[in-house]
Structure 1
Amino acid sequence: MERIFPLRGIVATLAGAGMLGSASVQAQQDDANVVVVSGQRQAAQSAQAIKQNAEQVVDSIVAEDIGKFPDKNVAELLGRITGVQTVRENGEAGRIVIRGLGGVTTLFNGREMFTAAGRSLNLTDVPVSMLQRVDVYKSQGAEMVEGGTSGVIDVRTFRPLDFKGSQTAVNLRGEHRDKAGKTDPQVGGLWSNRWKTGIGEIGLLGGLSWQRGRYHDETAWAGQPVTYTNPAGVQGADGNGRVMTTGDRKRIAANLSAQWRPNRDMEFYAEGFSTRIDVDSQNVFFVGGFPINNPNSTVTTVTSGGRQYLDTISNPSDTSLVLSSTQARRDWSRGSQGAIGGTWDMTPTLRLSSEYVRTVSTYRQENPILDSIYTAPHPVTGGTRDGGGFVDYPGVNLIDPSKWTMIALYDNHNHANGSANDWRGDIAWSPEDMGILKELSGGLRWAQRDASYAHELGNYRPATITGLAPSSIPGLSCVSPAIHGNYGVSQFYAGCMDFLLDNTGAVRQAILGTTAGLPDDPLSYYTDRETTNAIYGKAKIAFDAFGIPVDGSAGVRVVRTRQNIVGNSRAGTGPVTPVAVSGSNTDVLPSMNLRAKFRQDLVGRLVYGKAIERAAFGDYNPGVVLGSVTATNANDPTGTGGNPNLKPQEARNLDLALEWYFSKDGSLTGTAFKHDFKNFLRHRQATEVIDGQRYLVDRPYNTDTAKLYGFEAAYQQFFPSLPGWLGGLGVQVNATYMNGGMTEPDGSRNTFPGMSKTAYNLVGMYERGPWSARVAYSWRDEFVDTYNYRGLGFDLIVEPIKTLDASVSYKFTDTLVVTLDGSNLLNQAYHDYHGVPELPRDVRRYDRVVGLALRWKY
């Protein structure tokens, strides 16, 4: 045993690096080798050790202490990692791309995890108070769950045997959001203990988190560009407006973990995680149409690049559309995952492990939308100001609800469900002679995933009782939140979100004459049972090449995926017809990881692997909705649908890295990467013959090839040798350059939507005595959000995004720490435009957040 597994500490390091499966991590640790991370410098050391010892290309963020991460949620954490970018919206960071692309899969303690009918876990569902670390894999090994052509995010929580003995921690936090004008609490707690008993060592851990966040996002938008005829040739918006987004999010999460180690060779565990999220929110839209091409309108222009663009437009008596729309949402989400498993070292050279996982997730949304219009003639002025669209109505009282008329109710709802059963078994054998071959391992995985979705039938319901003002319904009349900035109209009448959500039937009765809601649309419905069977084999090797030690692994994963999908179809006004389709696909995923130790502190890597990304479940929907065939229309009728014959997207990924670890917490690393994609998923229209009739059908296809290449570099160092208080300084810097693109259906090539070619993070750290501080600045280059936006012939381009966050902590005692932090300190605006800056689209601003946290542990 001592020869084959010489040091428990080595195994603990491999476990921290993610090189051992979740079933085997804890079986090889004992009290003497548990690492308790505290402080920025030790957290940096742990993350660096994970990267240095990992087989794959991986970057990590490790907790500085229990419940202490440098950001508030997982998505914001990831924005600090090399090659990862995030977008903040709805009060927190949400959307994530790795090396400029989506296609990211999420794991929870190494297991597949998801939200409702989605492929991945919504990372904002997991509170940071529970986290031990987050690993971002840029490459995958044969033993890892397949999925994610651009990367894998593995969220890791604490377990009881991570600690030397009993551990109790409480995190209290209050945060203030400036635009929402609210201060909200966040509470988290963890308790853990371990005992030596007559049947072995037992550990128990429980964690609980409750958060509330009331947020305010705001947008001043400019309408789609049109070409004016008066004056001729001027390009400008056909109207401007506002979107005021507010919400009240309540999130509660709990996790449990139990470990039983009857002897040195066996361990069994059970874990559970559950989250509940309730959000009441609204988007309040204001639409102000412009009197374009009206002879009574006055238009001024600016000239750029030889073209004239709208500067201002005004009219003393206009009757263009003025609309207020309250889009209320009540979101209800529940998710849980339970796992049981164990490991057994049958002999000094043979290890077995097995795990069973059950996951259930449910999502519901009610989304009534009330539209009202202002009908009286009014003076108007509008145009472009401060890089965005402004519109104003001098002398007009837009707050008075009696001046507005309710015209329609969009009666939306949707619901999605997801569940999965997942089993895996693994075996690993280490030969006794310890030659070139160090380990052979393999395993099986069976998973069955069910997903379903449906939304409302015919959501648009025009008012049948006309001429009603909102003031005719007590409790329905509110005023929109105020917008910041010089964009004209600041506030206006808006239907009350709470009344719309709590009394939807009363609103229906008032303007439709009925309290009845809408049934599900059978054409939106689908169910999908996806069954995957996977087998993998992997060999770990080590040898000398020209005097240079080389180690690594080579493996292959073979996955067979079977879809059983049910949907509904309809042609014209004909009956709804059920459609059931089955199909299967087999993917062979080879991988190779080689690491050369040129010196003890200088490591080179060559990593190659093939990865797949399955389409969204809704894309497989076999249902097709076809338009009516009429003899008077010379064009082919249209249709929409899913595509049950979709293949997974494929990526062949190559990484070449050189890493210099000049101290325990100091490193300089660089990675060149190249990804070749096949079967890219895109929506397009194509002519199809169905029952002898030609249709122009819009559906997803495997159409495109794509390439991505680039380079990422990172530098980290602390400076303890500096004199005096300067010895507490440290710095982290990383930068990424990306290029490449996809082939469009017309044969042209574009860069990937959402990909910034360059991005970087600058982080300054300080830790000395009881004080610690951190300042983090992130920058990403402009990128194309959407090509040919809405078919207008313009690309929607997003300007560079810059964020600044900071925190400072003071440790009163070893058990009590207070932290003051702030995010979005620059009050950075998200700004996009239609092709050229003179044709703006949105100026979006988000809350600036200041938080005060108290952490106590014992």
Structure 2
Amino acid sequence: MKMKLTVMALAGAGLLSSASIRAQDAQAIANKAEAAEAAAPMNAVVVTGVRRAAQSAQAIKKNSDEVIDSIVAEEAGKFPDKNVAEVLGRVTGVQIRRSGGEASDIIIRGLPGLTTLLNGREIYTSNNRNLHLADIPTTMLQRVDVYKTQGAEMVEGGTAGVIDVRTSRPFDFKGFSASLAGRVENRDKVNTNDPNVSGMVSNRWKGTYGEMGALLGLSYQKGHYQDEVTWNSPPSNTVPSDPTITGPVDLGHTNTRGERKRLSANWALQWRPVREVELYAEGWSTRIDHDRQSQFFIGTLMLPAYQTQYTLFPGTRQIDSATSTGDLFALSSNQTPREDSESHQGAIGARWDVTPSLRVTSEFSRVSSHWKQKFPIMEMNAHPRTITGQTYVNGGARFDYPGYDMMDPNNYSLGALIDNWADSRGQSNDWRADATYDFGDEKLFREVSVGVRVAQRKAAYQHESQNFLANPGNLPAVSAIPGLTCPSLPMAGDYGMKQWLVVCDQYQHANIDAIRKMYGRNGQTAPDPYSMYGNNEDTSALYGKTRFGFNAGPVRVEGTAGVRVVKTELDVNGYSLIDGQQVAVNRKTSDTDVLPNLTLKTYFTDKLIGRINASKSIQRPAFADFNPGISLGATPDGLGIYGGNGGNPDLKPITGKNADVALEWYFAPTGSLTATVFKHKFENYIVRSLALETINGNQYRMDRPRNLNDGQLEGIEIGYRQFYDFLPGWLSGFGLEANYTYMKGHLVDGGKEVPFAGMSKNAYNVNVLYERGPWSGRVAYNYRSKFVDTFNYRTIAAPIGPIDLIVDPIETIDASISYKINDRMGITLDVENLADRTYNDYHGIPSNPRDIRRYDRVIGLSLRWKL
């Protein structure tokens, strides 16, 4: 009862949270470089731009208790990339994957278990726990921090790490500040020129009631993109007379073109009535409209009913090329999702320095998000009599239909309509209060912090029922429907058939009600009960932390020790299919986790620092993974097996026990050499895997999440940064940032060691910088070695057995050059995907490729103005 009264009293007093104060303290570290610049004598070298950003990031890393890497804006909102996800690709131990016109998946030290924070606060989308970081434009940012270890005061979650994205506040500037940026970017495959515009205005002033500040930022981004894929289906025993011969049943092409529009805004108000008190309110919102079409063509190369002649790769039992005749299966499909999403976060907070030694803070924040999708798919069947195919051509498949015109609508008939829609929503309320007492640096225990946090989250999802509508048998001919068909996007590479006809994406959406009636349906269907779920999750946390320090002879030692205790109550509701019957499912669970943390930082000299960090962390499953329902495909593949997926309401959170040992040498304000050895041990690690299940008499290849009891990951990170100011003349403008990460590890599944999905054994970045006078530039090279995309991707009959989906090494080169016209205006030319990278993956062995993917090369021209 006393605890409840204390919480209510602190809430009523409006004393707000250390989550944001911690961010402000880190900002104070970053501002040391600026303060030093202002105090420098007139003949001193003034550090600006790229150097100042590197100096600030290095100061944050050096002074932090945790193992952290930061990227700081060169000036208000100026980063080397256009969104947060792209920026993170340059950080030690972080790898990204690009698709759909931008960076998408992000992993830290080979693992996806990360938590995203915005200004120290938890934020996520309605069907996942993490914010899609590409949704945050860099024009809004002050810096990005990547935590490899976590203190007791930090929001729990993230067995791989925490990404804290910090937007600017008015008190970050000395007075009035404004900036405006315009950008046009050209993408070669989609052949478009797209605009990006952003602006920020901020001011702070003193009045009768103290110092106040206000900031507003706006950003609009429009981007088209095109991805090209050519693929093989998994290897199968395709020759009945000889089961040792393997090859793909199907070959195909997929071209995806999309248009994405983002409108984002952030705002902040700060009021400091007296030096000891500060109150603030701030918020962030984004709205994304994403329209795309994925134009599939599926050509069946080999079935027992076909007359097939084939050749093998020399010395193998794998099919190299084949020619088949008969009543062939060929399918054109245009998948045309229209997605709208929006997310909002708002917070109010304050700090009160009750005495010079005691600081009390508190904060309340709210997150809401909504995502919806309209996703019709229309199929057409072609009717060729002959197909020629090669299974391995430049990492993909090559096939063609001799004597058959795939651009003639008379050669097609209408197939199925797949009428999809989906909707998800999420909300959270989050309140925390913290108190810190400073005993002074001369004491053994120098500081004690305590805090409480209460959070309530809700997430819900649903999608359509009975989405599959077969041809009823009375549909008109394809050529008889005006405006129905369009030519597909042409293939840039030579993979045989370059184009085919698809149902136009605009036709599908503009005429969806008429199309439904043509297939015998009126309007959109009700939601599928097996897709519907609702998650209510309540967490309450208490933490205590102390900061200590002492001298061991000439060596100064500092450290922290803390513990966070978190109680999680989960209420999952949905429906499951049991013995052919719909059954309501409710799972209520309650868990308490104790998460200790210890850091030691030893100053061997002022420039040479050693660290030891040990902690325990948890990672809760994604909301959608708890769904007890299943989604079953309506059409089988060439082997008669259907697809399906489902959730698992009994999933447990991942637990990680983590240790980091680091040695860091800071030999110059913008020069450092660091090395970190790390080890993670996991319990209840969550994986998704495929397994064959029989449901209602049909065989399904079901994709489900499950826990594995044991796993471990270890490795080393090495980072180097230096500007070569000692070189003569124009050579003194060069600098280099480079990092390397080595990882190895495994999970234990049924007594067998299996790989982590997404983990590359080797990854490195090399970033060559230049800054001298009005000119600056960079060339960035990123590499990651091969990795397993999906473990146990297919289970095929002997002699193939289970296979993993493996991705070849990925290399990316980006470059930019900037010219500072004057103190207020600059121009930048940048190129992304300079080397026209490709993405290749394969089924188990390289000679069984799945696909090759090609992406846009992007050239951007930006003009920037500031006041």
What's the TM-score, normalizing by structure 1? Answer: 0.92
Q: Post-superposition shift, 1:786?
A: 1.5
2:49 corresponds to which of 39, 63, 66: 39
Distance 2:580 2:784 in 1: 49
2:602 alignment partner in structure 1: 596
Q: Post-superposition shift, 1:239?
A: 2.3
Matched, 1:773 2:774: no
Aligned length: 820
User: How has the CA–CA distance of structure 1 residues 754 and 684 changed in structure 2, closer, same or farther, with 3 Å as cutoff?
Assistant: closer
1:252 alignment partner in structure 2: 263
Distance 1:732 1:283 in 2: 38
Does the 8 Å CA contact 2:780/2:815 hold for their aligned counterparts?
yes
Distance 1:541 1:272 in 2: 35
Does the 8 Å CA contact 1:743/1:749 hold for their aligned counterparts?
yes
SS at match of 1:507: helix
1:631 alignment partner in structure 2: none
2:338 alignment partner in structure 1: 330
Question: Comparing 67-76 with 614-623, which one deviates more in the overlay?
Answer: 614-623
1:612 alignment partner in structure 2: 618
Distance 1:639 1:106 in 2: 30
Q: Post-superposition shift, 1:703?
A: 3.0
Does the 8 Å CA contact 1:27/1:265 hold for their aligned counterparts?
no
Q: Post-superposition shift, 1:553?
A: 0.6
Matches within 5 A, 1:790-829: 790-792=794-796, 793-829=802-838
Q: Post-superposition shift, 1:157?
A: 0.5
2:557 corresponds to which of 550, 553, 556: 550
Q: Post-superposition shift, 1:573?
A: 4.2
Q: Please give the per-residue CA displacement for 1:466-508, whole angstroms capped at 9, x wherever unaligned.
A: 4533333322211111111111111100111122123211222
Distance 1:290 1:459 in 2: 28
Report the RMSD for the aligned CA atoms in angstroms: 2.6
2:313 alignment partner in structure 1: 302
Distance 1:187 1:683 in 2: 40
Does the 8 Å CA contact 2:539/2:569 hold for their aligned counterparts?
yes
1:7 alignment partner in structure 2: none
User: How has the CA–CA distance of structure 1 residues 291 and 641 changed in structure 2, closer, same or farther, with 3 Å as cutoff?
Assistant: closer
Question: Comparing 37-46 with 86-95, which one deviates more in the overlay?
Answer: 37-46
Q: Please give the per-residue CA displacement for 1:317-355, whole angstroms capped at 9, x wherever unaligned.
A: 443211001111000101101000000000011000010
Q: Post-superposition shift, 1:789?
A: 1.5
Q: Please give the per-residue CA displacement for 1:21-65, whole angstroms capped at 9, x wherever unaligned.
A: 247778999999598995111111111111001110000111112
Does the 8 Å CA contact 1:289/1:322 hold for their aligned counterparts?
yes
Q: Please give the per-residue CA displacement for 1:778-817, whole angstroms capped at 9, x wherever unaligned.
A: 0100111122212232221111000000000000001100
Matches within 5 A, 1:55-204: 55-204=65-214
Matched, 1:841 2:850: yes
Question: Comparing 763-772 with 835-844, which one deviates more in the overlay?
Answer: 835-844
Matched, 1:426 2:434: yes
1:470 corresponds to which of 478, 485, 505: 478
> Partner amino acid for 1:281?
R
Distance 2:372 2:836 in 1: 33
Distance 1:453 1:370 in 2: 24
Q: Please give the per-residue CA displacement for 1:518-541, whole angstroms capped at 9, x wherever unaligned.
A: 210111111111110000000001
Q: Please give the per-residue CA displacement for 1:225-247, whole angstroms capped at 9, x wherever unaligned.
A: 12343884432222211111110
User: How has the CA–CA distance of structure 1 residues 596 and 427 changed in structure 2, closer, same or farther, with 3 Å as cutoff?
Assistant: same
Distance 2:712 2:57 in 1: 30
Distance 2:368 2:108 in 1: 27
Query: Which blocks of at least 5 consecutive residues in structure 1 are unaligned?
Result: 1-16, 628-637, 689-694
> Partner amino acid for 1:52?
K
User: How has the CA–CA distance of structure 1 residues 699 and 719 changed in structure 2, closer, same or farther, with 3 Å as cutoff?
Assistant: closer
> Partner amino acid for 2:626?
Y
1:236 alignment partner in structure 2: 247
Distance 1:837 1:590 in 2: 44
SS at match of 1:789: strand
Q: Please give the per-residue CA displacement for 1:254-273, whole angstroms capped at 9, x wherever unaligned.
A: 00001001111110000010
Does the 8 Å CA contact 1:382/1:392 hold for their aligned counterparts?
no
User: How has the CA–CA distance of structure 1 residues 140 and 432 changed in structure 2, closer, same or farther, with 3 Å as cutoff?
Assistant: closer
1:534 alignment partner in structure 2: 541
Distance 1:359 1:483 in 2: 42
User: How has the CA–CA distance of structure 1 residues 775 and 453 changed in structure 2, closer, same or farther, with 3 Å as cutoff?
Assistant: same
Question: Comparing 451-460 with 31-40, which one deviates more in the overlay?
Answer: 31-40
> Partner amino acid for 2:355?
T
Matched, 1:220 2:220: no
Does the 8 Å CA contact 1:187/1:209 hold for their aligned counterparts?
yes
Matched, 1:344 2:352: yes
Q: Please give the per-residue CA displacement for 1:95-114, whole angstroms capped at 9, x wherever unaligned.
A: 01100011111000000001
SS at match of 2:337: strand
Distance 1:624 1:513 in 2: 26
Does the 8 Å CA contact 1:686/1:697 hold for their aligned counterparts?
yes
> Partner amino acid for 1:235?
T
1:715 alignment partner in structure 2: 720
> Partner amino acid for 1:205?
L
2:521 alignment partner in structure 1: 514
2:322 alignment partner in structure 1: 313
2:753 alignment partner in structure 1: 749
SS at match of 2:604: strand
Query: Which blocks of at least 5 consecutive residues in structure 2 are unaligned?
Result: 1-17, 39-46, 634-642, 694-699, 797-801
Does the 8 Å CA contact 2:616/2:655 hold for their aligned counterparts?
yes
1:662 corresponds to which of 662, 667, 677: 667
1:6 alignment partner in structure 2: none
User: How has the CA–CA distance of structure 1 residues 198 and 240 changed in structure 2, closer, same or farther, with 3 Å as cutoff?
Assistant: same
Q: Post-superposition shift, 1:379?
A: 4.9
Matches within 5 A, 1:386-425: 386-425=394-433
Distance 2:227 2:462 in 1: 28
Matched, 1:21 2:27: no
Distance 1:640 1:88 in 2: 25
> Partner amino acid for 1:283?
S
SS at match of 2:594: strand
2:575 alignment partner in structure 1: 568
User: How has the CA–CA distance of structure 1 residues 641 and 830 changed in structure 2, closer, same or farther, with 3 Å as cutoff?
Assistant: closer
1:370 alignment partner in structure 2: 378
Distance 1:625 1:89 in 2: 25
Q: Please give the per-residue CA displacement for 1:632-651, whole angstroms capped at 9, x wherever unaligned.
A: xxxxxx99864444321100
1:736 alignment partner in structure 2: 741
> Partner amino acid for 1:314?
T
Q: Please give the per-residue CA displacement for 1:663-690, whole angstroms capped at 9, x wherever unaligned.
A: 00000000000000011124579999xx
Distance 1:141 1:101 in 2: 20
2:709 corresponds to which of 677, 688, 704: 704
User: How has the CA–CA distance of structure 1 residues 63 and 245 changed in structure 2, closer, same or farther, with 3 Å as cutoff?
Assistant: same
2:765 alignment partner in structure 1: 761
User: How has the CA–CA distance of structure 1 residues 516 and 472 changed in structure 2, closer, same or farther, with 3 Å as cutoff?
Assistant: farther
Does the 8 Å CA contact 1:739/1:751 hold for their aligned counterparts?
no
User: How has the CA–CA distance of structure 1 residues 296 and 577 changed in structure 2, closer, same or farther, with 3 Å as cutoff?
Assistant: closer
> Partner amino acid for 2:311?
T
Distance 1:365 1:606 in 2: 47
Distance 2:147 2:500 in 1: 48
User: How has the CA–CA distance of structure 1 residues 116 and 626 changed in structure 2, closer, same or farther, with 3 Å as cutoff?
Assistant: closer
Distance 1:132 1:687 in 2: 49
Matched, 1:280 2:291: yes
User: How has the CA–CA distance of structure 1 residues 462 and 839 changed in structure 2, closer, same or farther, with 3 Å as cutoff?
Assistant: same
Distance 2:703 2:302 in 1: 35
Does the 8 Å CA contact 1:822/1:850 hold for their aligned counterparts?
yes
Distance 1:754 1:506 in 2: 44
